[in-house]
Structure formats: structure tokens, C-alpha cells
Amino acid sequence: MTLEEIAEVVAIDPRRGLAFDQNDVSKDLLLACKLCSSLVRVSDDHDASYFFEEETYDGEDTSSDNGDRSRGRSTTSSLSRLTSSQQADPIRLRHGGPQGRVLLLAHNSVKEYLISDRVPQEIGNSFRLQEAVCHDFIARCCIKYLIQVGGAGDAEISIEQVQKRYRLMQYSANNWTGHMNCVHPKRIDELNDLKELFCPRGGAYLNWARSYCLEHYDSWAVSEAISGYWCPPPLFIASSLGLTAIVEYLIRSTGANLNEASGHTYQPNALSAALDSRHEDIAELLIMEGSNVDKQSLEWASRAGCINALKMLLDRGLKIREAGPALARAAYGGHQSIVELLLDRGLEIREAGPALASAASRGHQSIVELLLDRGLEIREIREAGPALASAARWGHQSIVELLLDRGLKVCEAGPALASAAEGCNQSIVELLLDRGLEIREAGPALARAAFWGHQSIVELLLDRGLEIREAGPTLVDAAFGGHQSIVELLLDRGLEIREAGPALASAASRGHQSIVELLLDRALRIHETGLTNDKLLSHYEAGLVVASHRGHTDVVELLFERADYVNGKELVAALALVAARKGNRTDIVDLLQSKGAVEFDPDRYEFSLCARCTERVAINSWWLRYAAFYCVDCILLELHRLKASGQPPYQDRDTSG
């Protein structure tokens, strides 16, 4: 906890009517450090791993003679780590820099000692801590604190503003449930306080729920979550947290709407929250009380493995023929009993193709066998190929063998070979080839292995007879990934260096100077890196332009110096200068200008839109990022348009890409 939070902790007494007294908040942030100087330390690091660091601090040694010093470790006061200004500074903002200092136990052994039952009774009774009692006390403190400070904000105020006023708000909102569950989630003596906390008309619920959601829900799932304004219904939060007693209270005493929208993209109501959190008893309660159900409810129950809730959903009249996606969810999660239930209830086996692929991807062989034994014809479903590929990708060799033994043609295993190569599953690659897959189908597999740097797979495929002349794209992938050893292997195996133009551009765009230099040293002549159409940027030119834009100074210098022959070198240098300015690469701008590059003037050149680029989407503001895909004339056209509009590209401050 932060020092600011500790300062408010000492002002809470759950036995009082108003548990939190603002007047009791400690003005001395270091009071706890002074009282327990040999047990705690202050750190800038929020990571719990700091507990295990053994350091010697400057300052007066306050450790006891029979403490850490007896074990040969010098431990000194945490107070000496704070400057005088930091010690005197009052309540600070919560995040960043010194204001985020946290109070930690001096070592994890401190906790072990305090809760140990091995300490003699006559010594330990005065200070020994009982973990369950501590969790109970902390939970009650957090709940009463949230209830009391709940009126501090309203829907028009961001929760972050409330947290700045009440520093313990964030900790209390995010952790009271965890402390309670360490004791018992349905404590009767706390139920009245929880009823007040979950009252939808009170400020207490508004503030703690918004604080909780800000921490636990992603902004992509709830657009308002990141701003701190999203507040779902109380029934939704109670169902998500597994608070059965509160759910019953909200339904039966407050008349909560079971189907009220939560505002969450993937958990639209309380039933979905309960199933997604695997609180099956709450899900059953909501279904019995009349919550709306649909085929998506089947998916939630199947994914969570809640078989009783699934039976209730089917008994409510949901059509079994709509349960195909639910079957796939259950297969993915390995819930074989649910797969069997759905099939027993009449789901047609021909709907089980996606379930087969899901089970294979996760390695659930028993479910794969179940589906096949139930009559799923592997040759009649289009998902058999993806199932084989998924099993191969994640190394489930037994499932690969099972699918092949059950009738999947090995000639359809090309994608599986590529997936196995991507996952570096050499035994599966060998299995597919030994089963008769033709080596000429291994081109994509070679490229995948090269991209991910799996040299042993590359060597295996070449040793099995894959012709090296088909390895041009593989060289590009290896260069893009920076795998120099694979580039050397392909060249040593006979790949002609004149095929390496795209690899040069790829390596240059990623800043892999050693690979660029290797290709040039292997006698790759820059004038041989062009394409068939003279108007198109050569691979050298494209690599130079993109490297300039992305800030790869060493690559730019190397390419510029090795350009013994470039058609229109002045134009290429000008384009590289434009790219460097667009990316705010001042060091490359200085380098190119020192080499003689001049500012680009499109009026000096004739231009026309080529047929190839006419078929593409109109050139937009990020055209330069993909300069290799546009011809020189089209780039000139874009530069001319920018100049005519008064926005020359070298004044564009856009740093994207």
C-alpha cells in the first residue's frame, strides 16, 4: 500500500458508527515506518518482488541484535532512504515518481514469523496474527470506508477525481471481496453493510463500482471504463463476484431487473457475468427467476463448463439445433461431459466440425475420439483440414496421427505442414512427409520456418529434396526476421544471389544491417535489384526510402555508399530525404544532406498514374510507409499534390509508422 493509503488506514475503526474519521488521518506519512522500522521498508517499486531483494541501506542501523543481523545481513531503517523534503511533504498524488512510494514488509519472512504457530505461546500471544481474523477485519474496514465516503462523488465526476480526494478508495474497492473470500463469502454479520453498499440509489455503490470497473475491465470491452464513468447495475457486479446472498437480496427485495443491460461488450447482462465467472449457483438462480435466455447463453454455459445451468437452459426450450457454437466452446474448453450432453440431446453430429477443430487445437484427444466415434465423417467436413493444422501447430502429434488414421487424406495436409514448421514441431513435419506428403507442397512450410527462425526445419525440408529455386520467398522471410544464419544457409545451398533483391529491401526496412551487408558482399549488384518495369521502385530504392523513414541510420549509410550504379540516384536520394523528414529522423536528414541529397521538387519531373496503381485504393497520407508498392510516377504525383496544397512532405510532422 502507498504511504497515503496507510495514512487513512489508521483513521478507520469498524466498531464506530462512522468508521472513518478524517481528523484521525495521519499527517506524518512515515508514522508506520517509525513505529515498525525494523519490520517494514519504503520503496518506489510497486512490484512484490522487492520483498526478496537483499540490500544494505545508508543510515542508522535499527535492526535488532537477534534479527536479520544474526543471519549476517545488515538491514537499516527505511527512513534514511527519504530526503528531508520527501519526509516533510504532505499528501501527494497517487501515481508516478516519489508520490507513489509504497510500504512493504522488510522481507517475506516477516509475515511468516507473525502468523507462525511455532512461536512459544507465552511469547507469541501478544503479537501473533491470525490470518483469517485479519482478512475479516480488513474486509469490514474496506466496506465501511466505501459506504462512508460514497457520497463524495456523482455521475458527473470521474472516479479518478474521487480517488484523489480519498486515497484508500481504489484499494478498498478492488480488494474487499478478496479479503472476504479468504474468510467466507456469505458472512451474515456483514450482510447489512453489503446491502447498503449495493444499493443502486446510493453514492457508495456508484463510486466503488466505478473504481472496481476501472481496474478490472478493459477499455476495448467497455468504452466508458477507461474514463472512469462506467457503472454497471448492482446485479451484474454481484453476479460477477459470486455474491449469492446479495444476488438473492437484489432480486427478491429490491426487484432488480434480471435483464438490465450492463454496457459490457461480451457480458451484456447478469447471467452472462455469472457464467463467465463460473458461478453456477448464481446462474441457476437467475435462470429460475426468469432471466432471458438465448443461444448465446448456451455458449456461455458450455465455455464455463456449467453443465447444470446448461441443462436448465435446454429445459427452458432452447432449440438444440442452435447449439453448434456451444458444442465448439465446450470442446475448446475440454468439457467432455457437456459435449456428450449436447449430442445426447439431439444435436446432429454433422454440426460438430468446428468442435473437432477446437478440440484438436487444444489437444483434447478424448473429445476428438468421441466426435469421430459418434459418426463424424472426417472426409465430409471442411473443418478437418483446420483441425489437422491446429493440432500440428501446437504439437499434438497423437491427434495428427489419429486424424490421418481415420481417413484424412495426407494430400490435404499442406497447411498442416506449414503450421508444424511454424511451431518448430519437427517430429510432426517428419510424420507428414513420411506419410506421403509430397515435398513440393513444402514451400509455405519453408517460408514459415525461415520467418520464425527455425533453422533445423529449414535444413530438414531442403534435405528432403525441396528445390532451392523455390526458396526466394523464404529468403525474404528470413531477412525480414533477421535470421542471418538461415540467409547464409539458403545461399550456401545454391539460391542464386540475383533472387535476393526483395530480401535486401526487406532486411533494410527492418534495420538488419548485417544481412544487408551479407547480401551485398555475396556479389548482389544493386542494379540487379530492380523489377521488370523500369518505372517501379527497385528493391534497393525501396529499402533505402523505408530505412530512412524508420530511422535505420547504419543501413541508410551502407546502402548509399554501396550504390555503385543506381538509375536516377538524385531522385532516390531526394525521396529518402523526404522519408527521413516525414519520420522526424534528423540524424538521417543530416547524413543524406552530407552525401549531397537535395530537397525534392516534383515540378522537375513529368508524372502520370500508372495502370498498376490505378487499380489500388487512392494514395493516402501514409503512402510513404509502403513506398515499395508504388511506382515512382505515383509518388511524384502525390508529392505534387502536397506541394500544390501548400503542404510539402518535408513539413509533415506525422511520426506514424
pLDDT digits (tens, 9 = 90+) for 566-618: 555 677 788 788 878 877 899 999 998 888 888 777 666 655 555 555 444 34
Contact by Cβ (8 Å): 572, 546? no
Question: How much is the average pLDDT of 471-475?
Answer: 82
Within 8 A by CB and 6+ apart from 3, the residues are 29, 30, 32, 42, 101, 102, 103
pLDDT, tens digit (0-9, with 9 covering 90-100), for 420-429: 999 999 999 9
Region 14-33 average pLDDT: 82
Read off the pLDDT of each residue in 322-346 and give the average, rounded to a whole number.
94
If you compute the radius of gyration of the chain from its CA atoms, what whole number of angstroms results?
33
pLDDT of residue 417: 95
pLDDT interval class at 211 (50, 70, 90): confident
Q: What is the pLDDT of residue 604?
A: 65
State which H helix or E strand residue 613 sits in: helix 611-614
Predicted confidence at residue 635, as pLDDT, reads 59
Question: Does pTM top 0.75 for this prediction?
Answer: no
Check residue 234 and give its pLDDT: 92
Categorize the per-residue pLDDT at 564 as very low, low, confident or very high, splitting at 50, 70 and 90.
low
pLDDT > 90? residue 63: no
The CA-to-CA distance between both ends of the chain, in Å, stands at: 39
What is the average pLDDT across 536-565? Answer: 79
pLDDT given for residue 22 in this prediction: 81
pLDDT(454) > 60 = yes
Whole-number Cα distances in Å, 123 to 62, 114, 118, 639: 22, 12, 11, 83
> For residues 558 and 163, which has the higher predicted lDDT (pLDDT)?
558
Higher pLDDT, 201 or 308: 308
